[in-house]
Amino acid sequence: MKILVSDPLHDMGVDIFKEQGFEVEVNTGLSPEELHQAIKGVSGLVIRSATKVDQALLDAADELKVVGRAGTGLDNVDIPAATGAGVVVMNTPGQNSNAAAELAMGHIFALSRHIARGNRGLKDGKWEKKQLRGRELKGKTLGIVGMGNIGRILAELGTGVKMKVIGFDPFLDDAEIAARGADPKSFEDILAQADYISVHVPKTAETASLFNAENIAKMKDGAYLINCARGGIVDEGALCDALADGKLGGAALDVFEVEPLPADSRLVYADDVTCTPHLGANTFEAQENVAVAVANQMSKYLKTGEAEFAVNDPKK
């Protein structure tokens, strides 16, 4: 059986497939038309966030049995279409959670102490010491929206720097949220009480533009918003308006409505915004973790029919 790796994957994952006896083709950066040709004769497709698994690709596939996402997010996969085509879709939850949580915490520090602007100013010949008075995290309230693996780790990090951590997750009860290190609150309470809000939910119909103008207006004056989850959960226009009006103290984004971030985006010119180019899972450790996990999971499924972390069931 043949495995096609259409997005970059750590060599450890490729080696596992080969050790399991699969033929492996690594072919990244393909156009949709090229991918439709490359998918012929492929039993397993390994993707990350670039490859779009849509109806057209599924129609072009003639032997595809499983799509494995080396990571968590699956907004680039048409799961109902895959189910209809008899293709199992699986991801690797938890393998890059620590990386994403640490990046979110890094952004919280950067916002509080103006690290990005201070660095940029020095390189431009400026000494903005008086302008860049910061805030300490100790005693501040960190609100976490989404208390999954990433949210749980961020709660630990926030507690470690003596922040008060509150959390919301519609899929967890209060006891589960508390067990993950946060004082359970409603979404409205998070908006009203948190000095820092960090978002860790998938992008769905329910979470798209979750932080719109109406909800941002409910946040504390001078609060900070951090999104290291998915672009489009934060309405970027509404965010820029809130920053320009002085409603928020700052924001940090690792993900954007359009990626790569356009050079003329208002976010680029805002001094109170720190941006990174979708680095959440981009650590050496996380890349090894997701590659090993997806290779083991897909190999097991193709050989035994046992699907770990499958998000659909084509047999139903």
Burial of 90 (0-12, 13-18, 19+ CB in 10 A): buried
| Residues 6 or more apart whose Cβ sits within 8 Å of residue 58 | 64, 78, 81, 82, 85, 87
Choice among 48, 230, 236, 257 that is catalytic: 230
Residue 63's CB: how many other CB atoms inside 10 A?
12
Choice among 278, 285, 288, 308 that is catalytic: 278
Residue 155's CB: how many other CB atoms inside 10 A?
24
With contact defined as beta carbons under 8 Å apart, do 182 and 167 qualify? yes
Choice among 259, 266, 288, 308 that is catalytic: 259
Q: Is 36 a catalytic residue?
A: no
Q: Is 230 a catalytic residue?
A: yes
Give the sheet arrangement for strand 44-47, strand by strand. 23-26, 2-5, 44-47, 66-69, 88-90
With contact defined as beta carbons under 8 Å apart, do 81 and 67 qualify? no
Active-site residues, by number, are 230, 259, 278
